[in-house]
Structure 1
Amino acid sequence: MEKRKKETTLKPAQLAPVLGRKRDPSLDTSILTATLEMLAEEGFDGMTMDKIAIKVGTGKAACYRRWPSKVKLVKEALIWMNRNQLELEKIPNTGSLRNDFLAVLKPHSMEEANAKLRVLGGLGTFWLDEEIEKKGITEIFGPWTEVNRTLIQRAMERGEISKKANVELVCKVLNSMATYRALIERKPPDKALFIALIDNVIMPALKNPG
């Protein structure tokens, strides 16, 4: 007579999936901060994931778990830098598009402005990466586009500007100005230049599109 096989019953604990360690947001912030500091100090070509890990006081694996390459880490750090500068949760709403634009351009100390310039000036061959060449600048300066688009759309809803205005084109013009100023001229934001651009180019283009 064939013996009946003994059935094995799994307990709930055995059925539950094994979860990994919860990601620590504070470590993310530390890595991104260290990345920006190292870009300013050694440049993209001089920095490595090992150096960043040592600077933070963590293992290299912790960096690679979050960002699979140095290029992706640097791109994320630059986006994070722009988001922090803009404070997206506090987008101005003064009731005037011109004043909203000016409110976005917060006064920064010379030390902060120069630190950002050193970061951007240290990018080197970062710009030669295939992924960055295709859409890197668009993503890095995306937070600025997001804010400008919100401000312009609000003004359009208020009837302050024409509904036929080319919102995306104006956002590109604003971003191009900021990018050229930072990456080509290597100069901090100039409020007088920004005001002239708003008054003589941006506002006329939005109110009276061709």
Structure 2
Amino acid sequence: MTQVDEADVKPRLGRKRDESRDPEILDAALDVLAETGYDGMTIDMVAARAKAGKATLYRRWSSKEDLVIDAVARMKSGDLNLSSPPDTGTLRGDLVAMVKSPTLKNAEHRLKVMAGIMSMIARNPELAAAAQAALIEPRAAANRLIFQRAIDRGEIPADADLEMLSTLGAAIVNFRSLMLQQPVDRDFMIRTIDQVVLPAAGLRPNA
């Protein structure tokens, strides 16, 4: 009779990891990251915020760095319908329609997260790529579509620089918030549209 290896009949020890808590943990990581920055953030802080055991986090993420990369990447899925930006029939109307209270609140949180990871971006290409994909590209893609519509309507020149225009407003907002430490509200966003973005696209401020 063939002898059966003991390992073949013994049940495996340990519980299967519950992945259903991952979104909750990643959201907690983003909140802590926005509050403390990467250098001040600890796994203990995230575990406490998510009401999870530290061992639960370490079974999923071997380091704080891995946790932050996944948390930042998750932000892309939470964007406010940027895949279908409003179509009002005018460039200014589309850009202004993008400035909504939920969008501003979401943007404020994103800016805090961006500020929190600045110390790591230069040292970690993977985190830099995650930040680009989650924090910058969704808004830039929506803006590209808006400016392309304006080109198609003949509202702005056909040779308008879509890449520059798609990130111009965000660059001003980021500088004001991260470097000048000044608030960004709806009035500031609309002034930026009227006084900077529209002229850069080839429209007069009063057009």
Q: TM-score, normalised by structure 2?
A: 0.68
Q: Look up the SS of the partner of 1:193 in the other structure.
A: helix
Alignment partners' CA distance in 1, 2:99 and 2:71: 21
Alignment partners' CA distance in 1, 2:107 and 2:168: 21
Partner of residue 10, structure 1: none
Q: How big is each residue's C-alpha offset from its partner over 1:138-166, in whole Å with a ceiling of 9 and x where there is no partner? A: 43322221111121112222222221111
Runs of 4+ in 1 over 6 A off after TM superposition: 109-114
Identity of aligned residues (%): 32
Q: 1:63 aligns with which of 49, 60, 63?
A: 60
Stretches of structure 2 that go unaligned for 5 or more consecutive residues are: 1-15
Q: How does 1:89-168 map to 2 (within 5 A)?
A: 89-108=83-102, 118-123=112-117, 125-131=119-125, 138-139=132-133, 140-168=135-163
Partner of residue 87, structure 1: 81
Stretches of structure 1 that go unaligned for 5 or more consecutive residues are: 1-20
How far off its partner does 1:184 sit? 1.0
Q: How big is each residue's C-alpha offset from its partner over 1:163-199, in whole Å with a ceiling of 9 and x where there is no partner? A: 1111001123222112212211223323233222222
What is the one-letter code of the residue matched to 2:190? I
What is the one-letter code of the residue matched to 1:154? R
What is the one-letter code of the residue matched to 1:63? R
1:79–1:142 contact (8 Å) kept in structure 2:
no
Alignment partners' CA distance in 2, 1:163 and 1:23: 52
Root mean square deviation of aligned Cα: 3.5
Aligned residues: 184
Q: How big is each residue's C-alpha offset from its partner over 1:18-59, in whole Å with a ceiling of 9 and x where there is no partner? A: xxx8984x5332122111221234331122345434543251
Change (3 A) 1:133 1:43: closer
**Which protein has the larger Cα radius of gyration, Structure 1 or Structure 2?**
1
Q: State which drifts further: 86-95 or 112-121.
A: 112-121
Change (3 A) 1:80 1:177: farther
Q: How big is each residue's C-alpha offset from its partner over 1:91-143, in whole Å with a ceiling of 9 and x where there is no partner? A: 21212211111121212599877766654454462244241796566433222
Alignment partners' CA distance in 2, 1:113 and 1:43: 17
